[in-house]
Amino acid sequence: MFKPHVTVACLVQAQGKFLVVEETINGKATWNQPAGHLEANETLVEAASRELWEETGIRAVPQQFVRMHQWIAPDNTPFLRFLFVIDLDAPLPTTPHDSDIDRCLWLDPQIILEADNLRSPLVAESIRCYLESPRYPLEMLGAFNWPFTKGA
């Protein structure tokens, strides 16, 4: 049976700058959107909010859904990556709670698109999607009969 990893990513934008998290992998600083795996007992939106807080210290809920990418990493690991958008009025200070994150940066999109230290090509593709693709309401991703919802 095919079992891809399910991940979520938050594309956070404020005043034309995008938030990236920097972590050291194999001795090299790499950039990614705040992102991570879907955990048990959480919806995709809850996972995105949790990952954003863990990696940046920012508490926010995704506002829109952009795209789901089906991707196979260079090590042949299959992924389904759900991309969400959070538009802020201004860049916020960051305090990563995940020890793997070295720091957070607010960058112009062109810097990210031209960077040679991206965690994966999906980092740049996410920026392109933000700039060129339609966005969808979160209701598009329903949690049917979800037993973990408060009040259920």
- Is residue 152 predicted with pLDDT exceeding 50? no
Helix (H, G, I), strand (E, B) or coil at 73: coil
Burial of 77 (0-12, 13-18, 19+ CB in 10 A): exposed
Q: Mean pLDDT in the chain?
A: 94
With bands split at pLDDT 50, 70 and 90, how would you rate the model's confidence at 16? very high
Q: In angstroms, how far is CA 136 from the centroid of its own chain?
A: 16
CA–CA separation, 149 and 54 (whole Å): 21
* Nearest to 25, CA basis, from 123, 128, 110: 123
Give the model confidence (pLDDT) of 34-62 as tens digits: 999 999 889 999 999 999 999 999 999 99
Question: Tokens 């995709």 correspond to what residue?
Answer: 44
Question: Residue 143 pLDDT > 90, yes or no?
Answer: no
**Domains of the chain listed by start with CATH number:** 5-140 (3.90.79.10)
Q: Is the pLDDT of residue 151 over 60?
A: no
